[in-house]
Amino acid sequence: MTIHTTVLLKETVDALQLKPGMIVVDATLGGGGHSLEVLKKIGKTGKLIAFDRDIDAIDRFKKRIAVSSVEKSDENIKLFHDNYSALKDRLTSIDIFSVDAILADLGISSDQLIDEKRGISFQGSSPLDMRMDMSKGITAAEVVNTYDEHNLIKILREFGDEKYASSIVRNIIAERNIKPFSLTSDLVEIIERSVPGIYRRKKIHPATRTFQALRIEVNQELKTLSSFLSQAIEILKPGSRLAVISFHSGEDVIVKETFRENARGCICPPEFPVCRCDEVPIVKLITRSPIVASEQEILQNPRSRSAKLRVVEKV
């Protein structure tokens, strides 16, 4: 079973305005909290289609739904072990070409954080892997051991906002020339040696930003997000909604800019007295500012403090 606590659960499900019989996509199944609430709203006549790259997440949800009291049938749940960037292709494969609502929670689940074989957490000593789908793709060890200095620094700065990226990378390269990295604990040790003492004594662990950056690179999280958002907007029915919860600033920027671009409409220069481009808005912004967790939710689940929910509706 899952130990994950779903973030902004009520706010997200309420924003989708779900009704019985709807076809709904949960693009990031995770612990399944959002999906369970969706099933309650859409009933046996609706259809839930959920995606996750982590096969363990799908297996956990199957067990969770089996013992749940939620009204369901074999026909109204479809689970895909795949990246949400395969959204249109997977839906087409089951003859679905438009949907009534889509949600995506971009956070890492607690189940994945404590999974020792995955090596996402800097706690303990685990294989330096970090892949969501452990059946394919490059591992964090391969990134650390093979990327050149320039690219490693770029990743740590862009994906982790790590101000000591240069120092960390120099020490990584010096160490890997002696012995390649294979364990999370080896990388943590190098990071701790690469930052000032005052940085090591802060509330946030000095390895946090580096591990975040490597995970984003390994899973190509920002690249797949852009692909998913464009597909999601395209397949929504008019009047239907897309809700996205982001945690990382880079993710939130992509979501915000994509939503605003599709809500923009006319792109003519301001000095044009009449529109000549004939561009019209594709969506309307439901949340001009993101919805964030309440003080009570943050107290109960501190990880929710960085969550930002943005919602649009297809025009």
| pLDDT per position as a tens digit, 110-147 | 888 888 889 999 988 999 999 999 999 999 999 999 99
Of the pLDDT bands very low, low, confident and very high (cuts 50, 70, 90), residue 1 is: low
Distance, first Cα to last Cα, the chain: 39
- Which pLDDT score, from 0 to 100, does residue 209 have? 94
Per-residue model confidence as pLDDT tens digits over 66-120: 888 887 777 899 999 999 999 999 999 999 999 999 999 999 888 888 888 899 9
Per-residue model confidence as pLDDT tens digits over 195-239: 998 877 777 899 999 999 999 999 999 999 999 999 999 999 999
Q: What is the CA radius of gyration of the chain?
A: 21
Instruction: Locate CATH 3.40.50.150 in the chain.
Output: 9-111+222-314
Per-residue model confidence as pLDDT tens digits over 231-285: 999 999 999 999 999 999 999 999 999 999 999 977 777 777 777 777 789 999 9
Closest CA to 26 of 48, 45, 5, 8: 48
User: How many angstroms separate the CA atoms of 80 and 145, rounded?
Assistant: 32
Q: Largest alpha-carbon pair distance within the chain?
A: 67
> Which of the pair, 117 or 9, is modelled with greater confidence?
9
Domain 9-111+222-314 has CATH 3.40.50.150: yes
Residue that is written with structure tokens 């975040």 in the block: 212
Q: How many residues does the chain have?
A: 315
Query: What is the reported pTM?
Result: 0.92
Per-residue model confidence as pLDDT tens digits over 38-59: 999 999 999 999 999 999 999 9
Task: Identify the burial level of 170 via C-beta atoms within 10 angstroms of its C-beta, where 0-12 means exposed, 13-18 middle and 19 or more buried.
Answer: middle
Measured CA distances, 5 to 24, 194, 302, 304 (Å): 21, 34, 10, 9
Backbone angles phi, psi at 240, to 5 degrees: -95, 160
Q: Which CATH architecture has domain 116-219?
A: Orthogonal Bundle (1.10)
Question: For residue 300, is pLDDT > 70?
Answer: yes
